Amino acid sequence: EAGVVQSPRYKIIEKKQPVAFWCNPISGHNTLYWYLQNLGQGPELLIRYENEEAVDDSQLPKDRFSAERLKGVDSTLKIQPAELGDSAVYLCASSLGSFGSVDTQYFGPGTRLTVL
């Protein structure tokens, strides 16, 4: 079974440019997460989707970050415009999303963003 797929794996852009990351979750997983991981730190949740609905986006900096999950499968995370401080690894994860239960989250390889 294929794991969580993310692309691109690496991205280098200049500040003020836009950038987008794509995630394809494990087949059948209804819940999708985007995490931010700064160097030397653990991941921090940016947004969580249950199917198409963003149910927890309290940590997403909405002035420059946006996300969507059309049709409840793939998801895109966008930054516009990017700032130097956005340099980090952006991780996507998915879980079954079983009602009333706590599901384990499975992570993709991440996208390493460098903003120059």
Partner 1 sequence: AQKVTQAQTEISVVEKEDVTLDCVYETRDTTYYLFWYKQPPSGELVFLIRRNSFDEQNEISGRYSWNFQKSTSSFNFTITASQVVDSAVYFCALMQETSGSRLTFGEGTQLTVNP
Query: Of the candidates 21, 25, 95, 113, which one interacts with partner 1 according to CB under 8 A?
Result: 95
Size of residue set near partner 1 by CB under 8 A = 26
Among 21, 33, 34, 65, binds partner 1 (CB under 8 A): 33
Q: Is 106 a binder of partner 1 (CB under 8 A)?
A: yes
Q: Angle at Cα 98 formed by Cα 25 and Cα 52, nearest 5°?
A: 50
> By C-beta, is 35 or 65 nearer to partner 1?
35
Q: Which is nearer to partner 1, 7 or 81 (CB)?
A: 7
DSSP-assigned states of every residue in 24-88: E--TT--EEEEEEE-TTS--EEEEEEETTEEEE-TTS-TTTEEEE-GGGS-EEEEESS--GGG-E
Write down the least CB distance from residue 41 to partner 1, Å.
5
Which residue, 25 or 110, is less far from partner 1 as judged by CB? Answer: 110
Query: Residue 28 and residue 66: Cα distance in Å, rounded?
Result: 24
